[in-house]
């Protein structure tokens, strides 16, 4: 059992969260994809019109006091909308720093997000996972995660900036 | 060339949009999945805290006047957040009523959403499509749509209410 507590993220956490975002991108084998900066993360999460919410797990010392500058994990999520079910929540990222895996921190974060879904009356919690990431898939299946790409053949599609520019020319 | 114009949806359009949502669910072979009501759609799109935006295409008569109660298509979208790229847009639904397909209405709607992405500084426009829906896939590929499930093996995952209830017990 790890000694940690979960709380909502604050503006001051953004530099550390960005460090964890970069760790996750490395783990997902796309380290060069992170265009994010601390300033943008602060503005978009804690400005006038928040675009996301975030939870963090911080380490506690033996007396139960938090250790500053020691975030162990974060979860970042936001509202999405199903025209069938109404408001839902999308879990964009859930990441535990490698040294602190398998201590129940990820589970505690995931459970807290599920709790928020229930409290807010959301009927679905969604996310995406890389098919090769068997560790994450095992984790999600434990909580009843359903692979909608397998079950109903939903595929993720995207256009990026270059394609958009062509369309709007 | 169809005689239509695209505009932002209004609260009064919600009953007609819900009719189109149900048409799309039938086309997607999941007609019983629609739990939505006009009241919820109105509150969530046009209340204090809008959860989505919507565009509609309405038919014009030969004098260029709109024909009331004749929505031909709708697109419904909302903000999402990438920890790598920042604010993005998710296109939840894009649906043209069957009698009015292949007249450029869907393309006009998709282009308008791409235009909004560019104007708002979003770097990605995302959506999901059923793998068997070859007509939709052909449509999206025309605009440079990339299948991220094929390209990077992103799979869509979800838990629903029953699984959530177990987690939070």
pLDDT in tens, chain B (169 residues): 569 999 999 999 999 999 999 999 998 888 888 999 999 999 999 999 999 999 999 999 999 898 888 899 999 999 999 999 999 999 999 999 999 999 999 999 999 999 999 999 999 999 999 999 999 999 999 999 999 999 999 999 999 999 999 999 8
Residue A111, class by beta-carbon neighbours within 10 Å (0-12 exposed, 13-18 middle, 19+ buried)?
middle
Q: Residue B53, exposed/middle/buried by CB under 10 A (0-12, 13-18, 19+)?
A: middle
Strand partners for B60: B66
Listed residue (B25, B22, B23) closest to B130, CA to CA: B25
What are B93's strand-pairing partners?
A: B76
Place of tokens 């697109």: B75
User: Contacts of residue A149 in chain B, CB cutoff 8 Å?
Assistant: 149, 155-156
Mode of pairing for the β-strands spanning A53-60 and A66-82: antiparallel
Q: Are A54 and A18 in contact (CB under 8 A)?
A: no
Q: Flag if A51 and B84 touch (Cβ within 8 Å).
A: no
Helix (H) / strand (E) containing A23: helix A14-27
Q: For the segment A112-152, what is each residue's pLDDT rounded down to a tens digit?
A: 999 999 999 999 999 999 999 999 999 999 999 999 999 99
The answer to whether the Cβ–Cβ distance between B81 and A51 falls below 8 Å is yes
Report phi then psi at B77, rounded to 5: -145, 165
Residues of B in contact with A127 (CB under 8 A): 157-158
Residue of B nearest to A52 (CA): B81
Cβ-Cβ contacts under 8 Å, B140 against chain A:
157
Tell me if A84 and B33 make a contact (CB, 8 A cut-off).
yes
CA atoms within 13 A on the CB side of B33: 19
What DSSP assignment string belongs to B127-148? EEEETT-HHHHHHHHHTT-EEH
pLDDT in tens, A70-122: 899 999 999 999 999 999 999 999 999 999 999 999 999 999 999 999 999 99
What is the signed CA dihedral for A152, B127, A94, A76, rounded to 10 degrees?
A: -140
Task: State the DSSP string of A115-139.
Answer: HHHHHTT-SEEEEEEETT-HHHHHH
Check CB contact under 8 Å for A168 and B76. Answer: no
Q: Backbone phi, then psi, for B68, in 5-degree steps? A: -65, 145
Substitution target in B85, B167, B169 with the highest count of A β-carbons within 10 Å is B167
* pLDDT one-digit tens code per residue, A52-72: 999 999 999 999 898 888 899
pLDDT value, residue B28: 86
Query: Pick from A81, A132, A164: which is nearest to B153 by CB?
Result: A132
CA–CA distance from B71 to each of A12, A46, B51, B105 (Å)? 48, 38, 22, 11
Q: Which domains does chain A have, with CATH numbers?
A: 4-127 (3.40.630.30)
* Contact across the interface for A93 and B83, Cβ inside 8 Å: yes
- Segment A41-45 shows an average pLDDT of 98
Separation CA A153–CA B6 (nearest Å): 31
Shortest distance between the Cα of B100 and any Cα of chain A, in A, equals 21
Q: What number is the ipTM of this complex?
A: 0.94
């Amino acid at each position: 059992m790890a000694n940690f507590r979960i709380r909502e993220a604050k503006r001051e956490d953004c530099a550390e969260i960005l460090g964890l975002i970069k760790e996750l991108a490395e783990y997902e084998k796309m380290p060069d994809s992170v265009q994010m900066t601390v300033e943008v993360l602060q503005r978009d999460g804690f400005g006038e019109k928040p675009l996301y919410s975030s939870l963090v797990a911080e380490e506690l010392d033996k007396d139960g006091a938090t250790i500053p500058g020691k975030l162990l994990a974060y979860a970042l999520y936001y509202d999405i909308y199903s025209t069938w079910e109404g408001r839902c929540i999308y879990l964009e990222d859930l990441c535990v720093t490698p040294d602190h895996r398998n201590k129940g921190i990820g589970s505690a974060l995931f459970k807290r997000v599920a709790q928020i879904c229930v409290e807010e009356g959301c009927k679905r919690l969604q996310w995406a996972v890389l098919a090769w990431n068997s560790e994450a898939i095992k984790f999600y299946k434990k909580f009843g995660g359903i692979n909608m790409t397998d079950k109903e053949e939903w595929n993720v599609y995207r256009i990026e900036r270059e394609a958009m520019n062509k369309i709007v020319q």
